[in-house]
């Protein structure tokens, strides 16, 4: 991965993308990095919409859940307008609804709930026993050992500089058409410093939660999101924030797909710290459709 010596890093560009411009009361403008993509990455819209909602909430309240729908592909060449509606401000909880607009039409809608922090019952599931990130191939090693003979779509994916580094526990799915169990474990890590600010930490976590998730629903079918014969897109996305995390180390993203039917695939995910603390859970349904023969 290369970049200009004095240019911003991928993480610095992501943080700038999440730093929305206020243009009116409860209305914000977001921009997209010009990375040559045909449409806006879904995680970016989730992160920006969450940031817009957070900017309307009192400082001592933090997001505990969000639920979102993708309605139209985002156009990276023009700004996205985020309109926040203050649904409820209660003694313990706040609710916000955010609509993202481009070209006069809604492309995305998000509802989020915020809570004053309080003590209560506390339990969690255990993190699975998998290889630690230091035991796995890094991105440079993957490129050196595998990419020379990989399809072009896979090469572009791994060669692009990203704000989040991905280190899959298994690489079989990326370089094979074998039908596998519909589950995967992926270590993820910010490639640059994330501010010690829970608004940015939540937005970055929401951003990365959309990475690799939909692909898990294709494991059982011996294909992947890189298959040019498929039409693949996120339809909806839900996320629950259980415990705060500074995002200064690797996170394990465990994923499984309990069902695919009707040209849709459902995937669930859990995000753990290296020490096994469950910080967030995710669910997403996506379109996984074979393209019609031209």
Q: CB–CB of 173/166 below 8 Å? A: no
- Residue environment code for 121-135, b if the CB has 16+ CB neighbours within 10 A, otherwise e: eeeeeebeebeebee
C-alpha dist (Å) from residue 158 to 7, 138, 154, 209, 282: 20, 11, 6, 18, 24
Write out the E strands in 169-242.
183-190, 230-241
284 is catalytic: yes
210 is catalytic: yes
Residue 117's DSSP bridge partners are none
Choosing from 217, 234, 257, 281, the catalytic residue is: 234
Burial class (CB in 10 A: 0-12, 13-18, 19+), 294: exposed
C-alpha dist (Å) from residue 109 to 87, 201, 229, 287: 14, 21, 28, 17
Choosing from 102, 113, 210, 281, the catalytic residue is: 210
In angstroms, the CA 228 to CA 291 distance is: 9
In angstroms, the CA 3 to CA 159 distance is: 12
C-alpha dist (Å) from residue 189 to 161, 205, 285: 13, 10, 24
DSSP conformation class of 293: P
Residues with catalytic function: 210, 234, 284
């Amino acid at each position: 991965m290369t970049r200009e010596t004095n240019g911003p890093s991928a993480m610095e560009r992501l943080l700038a993308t999440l730093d929305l411009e206020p243009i009116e009361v409860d209305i914000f403008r977001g921009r997209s990095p010009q990375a040559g993509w045909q449409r806006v990455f879904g995680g970016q819209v989730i992160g920006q919409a969450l940031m817009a909602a957070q900017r309307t909430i009192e400082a001592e309240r933090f997001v505990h859940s969000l639920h979102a729908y993708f309605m139209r592909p985002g156009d990276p060449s023009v700004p996205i307008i985020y309109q926040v509606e203050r649904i409820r401000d209660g003694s313990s909880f706040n609710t916000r609804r955010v609509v993202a607009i481009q070209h006069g039409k809604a492309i995305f809608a998000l509802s989020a709930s915020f809570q004053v922090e309080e003590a209560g019952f506390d339990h969690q599931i255990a993190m699975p026993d998998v290889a630690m990130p230091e035991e796995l191939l890094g991105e440079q090693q993957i490129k050196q050992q595998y990419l020379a003979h990989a399809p072009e779509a896979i090469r572009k994916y791994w060669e692009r500089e990203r704000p989040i580094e991905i280190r899959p526990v298994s690489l079989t799915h990326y370089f094979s058409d074998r039908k596998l169990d519909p589950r995967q474990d992926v270590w993820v890590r910010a490639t640059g410093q994330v501010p010690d600010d829970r608004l940015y930490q939540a937005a970055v976590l929401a951003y990365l939660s959309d990475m690799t998730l939909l692909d898990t629903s294709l494991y059982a079918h011996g294909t992947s999101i890189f298959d040019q014969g498929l039409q693949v897109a996120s339809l909806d996305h839900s996320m629950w924030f259980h415990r705060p995390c500074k995002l200064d180390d690797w996170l394990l993203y465990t994923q499984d797909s309990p069902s695919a039917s009707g040209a849709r695939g459902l995937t669930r995910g859990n995000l753990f710290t290296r020490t096994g603390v469950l910080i967030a859970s995710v669910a997403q349904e996506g379109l996984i459709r074979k393209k019609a023969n031209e």
